[in-house]
Structure 1
Amino acid sequence: MKVSSKGEYALRALILLGNHPGKVIGIQEIAEKTLVSIHYLEQLLLQLKKLGYVTSKRGAKGGYILQMNAETINIGEVIRQLEGPLSPMGCASITKYEPCALEEGCQLKPLWTLVRDTIAYVLERTTLEDLLQNRVTKLEGDASVAIKRDA
């Protein structure tokens, strides 16, 4: 799985909007703060609007505002909706499985499945609120990634 600029830039926009809850932010400001061209940003924000993550306001003081609560925006869901499957290979994909002539007895498929499951594990457990609160961290002395939330 490779997150393209589409996924990264969409997350940048969601983070910016999430850092200013309830505030309408103009596309020019979003473009400047996320380093994304207005033209590309318009396309991404339209997709995010269709998916229900943001809403827009027209007029001189128009722009975009986060429509959903940051705690309910699941990063794995956002990436899947914008980028497609999380699997690095079609033979390991759950949602877009692609058969391979070498699949039977393949010694690589378990690796691709583990990679898919690990990516899904992290992304599905991460919300926009986790990103806004800097709760994504690598555990000390461990190769795992965790979301630190207060109990």
Structure 2
Amino acid sequence: MPTAPQNRLDAWKALGFDPSNCPVRQVLDHVSAKWPTLVMLELRQGPQRFNALFRILPDISKRMLAQSLRDLERDGLVRREVFDTKPPGVSYSLTDMGRSFLARFLTLVEWADENMPAILAARTEFETTAPGQAV
């Protein structure tokens, strides 16, 4: 019996599926990188200003933080709010869609946390039993 994702793939193919326009790839292109997901996890705590996010994620560059926030805002996952102050204040927060994504993403985080010891063991076994094998 085919699984739900397989049925979805079959349905997409029947509609003339174009892998370059895959909805999953479109989303994962932005959120599967290291920084966007960490930014979203921090915004889960509530609205944050740019410099606060920069301090919380100390090994991110300002350029990468700005790009990550811009990409997340463009995809509708993060809201940018500008305050009429001098200098202008800017705050970032999750949108409803961002919170919806994060709820599902936390399931993956949980899975990774539970399975990391097994993944590390599999990597070690692979490296010791298949030395020099090109991947």
> Could you tell me the TM-score, scaled by structure 1's length?
0.44
Bigger fraction of residues in helix: 2
Find the structure with the greater CA-based Rg.
2
The structure with higher relative contact order (CA 8 Å, sep 6+) is: 1
